[in-house]
Amino acid sequence: MNTRSAPLLVGAATLSLFALAPSSVWAQGEAMAMPSSIDLLSPMTQEASGTAWLPVSTPMFGKMWMYPNGDMLMLHGAVMPRYVDAGSKRGDRRVDSPNWAMGMYSHPLDAASQLGVRVMASLDPLTEGGWGYPLLFQTGETWHHQPLHDRQHPHDLFSELSVDYSRQLRPNLSSYLYLGYPGEPALGPPTYMHRLIAYDLPDAPIGHHWQDATHITFGVATAGLNVGNRVKLEGSVFTGREPNENRYDFDTPRFDSRSARLSFNPRPDHAFQVSYGFVRNPEGDGSDVRRTTASWIYNRSLGDDANFTTSLVWGRNDVTGGEGATDSYLGEADLQQGRHTFYTRLENIQKSGHELVLPEAYHEGKYRLNALTVGYNYDLSHGKGIDTAVGAAITVDKAPSALDPIYGRGTPVGFQLMFRLRPSRMKMAHGHKARMDMSGAPAAAPKPPVSPAAPAAPVAPAPPAAPAPAAPVAPATPTPTPPAPTSPAVGSVTAVAAPEPPKARQKTAITVTVFGTDGKPLTGATVDAVVTMIDMDMGTLRPALKELGEGKYGGTVTFSMPGSWQLTVRATPPGGGKTLSRSFVFHVSR
């Protein structure tokens, strides 16, 4: 057996054994999930960069729109103007603004398949310039045909333009095909820009090119198989060469590299992966890389407005041409509590003198580098659509004493002061909370039709009274005029769905029947409907209801995901009058 692939095979065998264990918690979490734009068996909260998985419990920061036909659009991103000082003799300082924006769109083709489209863009070419931002010990890519060092290169204008097709083969089995130009192959953990810490710390890890640097690949095709949304096996063919110096163009696709990844999410709070890839000539210097990675991401919701997440990542590059294998290790954590966020990142990596672009006398050596970052952000505006924050971070870097002539003596200390804008966290209800009807009062249970009142029994005439003494005769009182007939009023409303129970991603016929206060079907009423999900904020659907006759009004709606949905009906009698609002709950199945 090839010793290079041993860690991958051992990890795959171990995770496969864990996957056999039952998990009732998983089934509960899965039932509440909005489908991912990549794979309709996966929940959207699990969706990350490319086809990688986050924990299911990961919160989402963005804005979502749902449409009656089941289409979904979600936008998210961040902008972080800042001042950064990397410290040390080899460091730099500047004002810049890392940024990115992403859109995800999915369209159901039928109940068992969907089409997805994703676009991710960044104005880094403008805000970071051609050679990127200061970041001590960072390496990778070139500027003016010279290798970059101690800087993070800018990302391309478009870092993802992808389309994918997903099909559910069985209730707990799905497959998908993902095509990106550019896109991300199945290699490594979710890239750092898609982990939650990126909303607070925009710096790339210094092990980026050991772990997740293939996230911008001009030409990638990935096929995957998802078993029970717990185990996923996928393989990719892709272009190994990293983007060139022109950040606005589209590089030539070559499909000369390959990778495989096994992902395992045993519980909603955990995401594991192991992966291996052969990357052809990534830096354009003729050297190929065999990359092996493993990672664990843990996320824990601490309430509606609090969350903790942590990541552990290992990546190994085995470079052809004499340098051999080097390892990188990363640990990071992000704790958000209301307006307050604390975060940290610790890295340890081995880089060669050639990789660090040191003088030739250092080229044969390998140097162990360390970096520790701690930071804090405070939200000035919070939970109102856009979160704005101010924050600061300090980074302590440590290099071997042999590099003192290059980086200076002691321990370089850098810092940054930043301002951050991002979408607010999407709210999700916990449990089946009662919603309010359109008038603001708690929705009442539907009342049965009122039967016509039975006629009153005849009353026998009273016997004539004894004659009384005559009295003065009063003037005659005019007979009152009977009141004019009143307009019909709404007495009750019923609603049924077909099929029952409704199925997710299939058209459901909704029939509403309106009765007057006399218990008879009421025609000519104005009837409208609003459909929302009870346990998650999935937007609002407004199916059009047409009159069908005999007091019935009908329309169709497509429930985008399984779970409990609420239909709120407002009925107004013909000619105007008091509107009656009633709510009904439908439990939508997969």
pLDDT in tens, 417-429: 999 999 999 875 4
Q: What is the pLDDT of residue 454?
A: 40
Helix (H) or strand (E) segment spanning residue 350:
strand 340-352
Instruction: Give percent of the chain with pLDDT exceeding 70.
Output: 83
Cis peptide before 449 (omega within 30 of 0): no
pLDDT at 538 over 80: no
Contact 350, 326 (CB under 8 A): yes
**Using 50, 70 and 90 to split pLDDT, how confident is the model at 480?**
low
Residue 451 pLDDT: 40
Query: What digits encode the pLDDT tens for the residues 142-155?
Result: 999 999 999 999 99
Strands 563-572 and 340-352: unpaired
The pLDDT, as a whole number, for residue 428 is 56
Counting residues of the chain whose pLDDT is more than 90, the rounded percentage is: 64
**Domains of the chain by start residue, with CATH:** 36-81+94-336+346-357 (no CATH), 490-588 (2.60.40.10)
Q: 254 pLDDT exceeds 70? A: yes
- Residue 432 in this model has a pLDDT that exceeds 50: no
d(C-alpha 81, C-alpha 506), whole Å: 45
Are the C-beta atoms of residues 118 and 73 closer than 8 Å to each other? no
Mean pLDDT for the chain overall? 85
**pLDDT score, position 21:** 35
Integer Cα distance of 349 and 210 in angstroms: 9
Q: pLDDT class for 540, splitting at 50, 70, 90? A: confident
Task: Kindly report, residue by residue over 293-341, the tens digit of the pLDDT.
Answer: 999 999 999 988 999 999 999 999 999 877 789 999 999 999 999 999 9
- Count of beta carbons in the 10 Å neighbourhood of residue 44: 24
User: In the prediction, which pLDDT does 559 show?
Assistant: 84
- pLDDT band of 94, cuts 50, 70, 90: very high
Q: Which residue has the higher pLDDT, 229 or 14?
A: 229
Residue 256 neighbours by CB under 8 Å, 6+ apart? 239, 240, 280, 281
Residue type, 150: D
Q: What is the pLDDT of residue 425?
A: 93
Question: How many Cβ atoms from other residues are within 10 Å of residue 498's Cβ?
Answer: 12
User: Do 190 and 211 touch, CB atoms closer than 8 A?
Assistant: no
Instruction: Tell me the three-class secondary structure of 257-312, residue by residue.
Output: EEEEEEEECCCCCEEEEEEEEEECCCCCCCCCEEEEEEEEEEEEEEECCEEEEEEE
Residue 387 is predicted with a pLDDT of 96
